[in-house]
Chains A and B, each alone.
Chain A
């Protein structure tokens, strides 16, 4: 059994600092795009003619990147869906413009690491490993960094949710309560309706029952969570998310959290784990009981 990593508080403080740094100001405003307010915006060709509207923004999950890069834009054109590679478009808050040589892929194949932000992240629960809390994403922000557009963070503020009730903003709205994406762990939906998104998606792709996604950094942070912190997070998650969290946490913390649950809850949660994780945690629970 691996020992708990030393000084988790220190690294947690580091995440808090990066969160503050992300609270962008006017200087960054033109380099930031709100995902919630770009969905539904027009997509124009190089000549400026409207050809469709933005349906979703796709990022690629990569354990090596703290902030997943934008890989494509999902476009709805007269009821049909297509994907345009990020290199073929110019992103702004008010519209997306295709380059003259842009190619639209009409039957895109869903990659294991592809995540559609509007569908998989907005309005969904995420685990904030720095603040040790479960949050719900009211908005997501893309930042145009040195490597191009990337998912910088999410906004969990009530104000940010409230702004979505009004009309879409023409400029990226000021952030309310932003959390650096590197400190977050997201869960993809259990069942993905492949017919409304990637039409030719294979059934084994990400987004099918039980699959999850995680940032490499956030996953490391999850290992640093202590038992009571894991237990506190479990209470705000659904059963499938709980299982993912328990599987991702350090085994000794997971067992400590499991021991705090009543037996029905514990069994229901263990039932969602894969065989290897379940057997390992059961063995640890038995040894604790002795």
Chain B
């Protein structure tokens, strides 16, 4: 049976449109993709929570986090380009076995937390459509595992990426939501840190979700996969810097849009509440659009994050690592991947507030981030690793300050939490 002519040309036109979108996505540099990977389920809900709880008061912090992200992502790109190797292998070669084990354990814990938040994102998104998370999360876990292990992931990945484009409506919503322009500008340029434990915890969550360890490992591997050489590093550096800035501009718009819509109402309680920020831009379609974006971002990261953890750890211990390998050929690789999916989905089913679970996972990331950043800083400072491309004195000082400040913040939150001061 042949389709009517108009329908065929319509389909072709649609396919051309989709192809164009995919071509644009494919043309994005690793730096841009890596930085935008931070805008996953955890990121979206944490930024929305920041806007809902503290209004515009986290904006200056986001400017500082952007500077730190630029510095960190540039170092990771440089490590990938000049060594031609991922961070997992580099850490194994440059540090003692114990230090390698510690780094890989931290990465595993951080990414397991991230996987939990991705499945919580799936649950939250499907609850908007009226589907219980006790149904959606197990199905998503099996779906993601099967897609990745059975090797048909690449097509689904494109669909997930297209769904995440829904979040590009945030900048429009931020303008249409009539935010207080003076307040936004003041909070963007002048330091403003409320002295409260809740603000400090959220600050660490914002750092954890923006400068995610997973992104650093992903970025270094992505430049290796794209075969970027030192000869064309200048364009990669531009991509890395612009990608980091662009990603955080979107994050800042999410905070502004949410602050304008529901600012000051306290911590975010549900994904539906976060969707309210999109209402000025898309009206009653806001919950559905937000849920679609959240679902795409969550499913995308729910497979990529465990996969990148498995690659890094298998690389570090020298075990076989490939999605094209059979299960028994790469037991460690698939074992770590499966473990993360199972634990991630199981924890996401725990009773309680999903948004709080997601934000707590980002706090965990925030505490672990400075520890892993220390490894990256040491690697980028070493002439044995980068030769003449190692950190210069100025960059070294800036990077050290960034890592130290992030570390100090995390340390204070950790101490406050452990001593019950919060």
Contacts and interface: CB of A to CB of B under 8 A. Distances in A.
A218 interface: no
Interface string B323-348: 00000000010000000000000000
Interface stretch (A15-23, A59-67, A96-104, A264-272): A264-272
Contacts of A239: 84, 224, 227, 229
B97 interface: yes
B59 to A, nearest CB: 39
Given A161-B318, A265-B227, A268-B229, A124 B383 contact: no
Contacts of B318: 125, 135-138, 156, 158, 161
B229 A271 contact: yes
B155 interface: no
A186 B294 CA distance: 47
Interface residues of A, number: 31
Contacts of B97: 123, 161, 164-165
B85 A238 contact: yes
Q: Which residue, B89, B92, B97, has most C-beta atoms of chain A within 10 A?
A: B97
B410 to A, nearest CB: 25
Interface stretch (A74-82, A105-113, A189-197, A275-283): A189-197
Interface string B92-114: 11000110110000000000000
Nearest to A243: B84
A258 to B, nearest CB: 13
B383 A193 contact: yes
Residue among B84, B92, B100, B382 having the largest count of chain A Cβ atoms under 10 Å:
B84
A190 B227 contact: no
A158 B383 contact: no
Interface in A247-277: 264-265, 267-269, 271-272
A141 interface: no
B372 interface: no
B384 interface: yes
B382 to A, nearest CB: 7
Contacts of A241: 84
B409 interface: no
Chain B, interface size category, equals 20 to 34
B226 interface: yes
A190 B85 CA distance: 12
A4 interface: no
A209 B101 CA distance: 28
B151 interface: no
A190 B224 CA distance: 16
Contact of B387 (A124, A156, A161, A209): A209
Contacts of A190: 83, 387
B319 interface: yes
A137 B318 CA distance: 8
Interface in A179-195: 189-193
Given A125-B89, A191-B387, A264-B227, A158 B101 contact: no
B162 interface: no
A149 interface: no
A259 to B, nearest CB: 16
A198 interface: no
Nearest to B231: A271
Contact of A165 (B101, B383, B387): B101
Interface in A18-55: none
Question: Which among A123, A156, A189 has the greatest number of chain B C-beta atoms within 10 A?
Answer: A123
A264 B226 CA distance: 8
Interface string B377-388: 000001111110
Contacts of A192: 384
Contacts of A264: 226-227
A156 B318 CA distance: 7
Contacts of A240: 84
A164 B98 CA distance: 8
A110 B227 CA distance: 33
Interface in A198-254: 209, 235, 238-242
Most buried by A among B93, B101, B224: B93
B200 interface: no
Interface of B: 83-85, 89, 92-93, 97-98, 100-101, 224, 226-229, 231, 317-319, 322, 332, 382-387
23 contacts: A123-B92, A123-B100, A125-B318, A136-B318, A137-B318, A138-B318, A158-B319, A165-B98, A189-B93, A189-B384, A192-B384, A193-B384, A235-B322, A238-B85, A239-B84, A240-B84, A241-B84, A242-B84, A264-B227, A265-B227, A268-B227, A269-B227, A271-B231
Given A165-B97, A191-B387, 11 more contacts: A123-B93, A161-B318, A164-B98, A165-B98, A189-B384, A190-B83, A193-B382, A239-B224, A264-B226, A267-B227, A268-B227
Pairs A-B, 8 closest by C-beta atoms: A136-B318, A239-B84, A238-B84, A268-B227, A164-B97, A191-B387, A193-B384, A238-B85
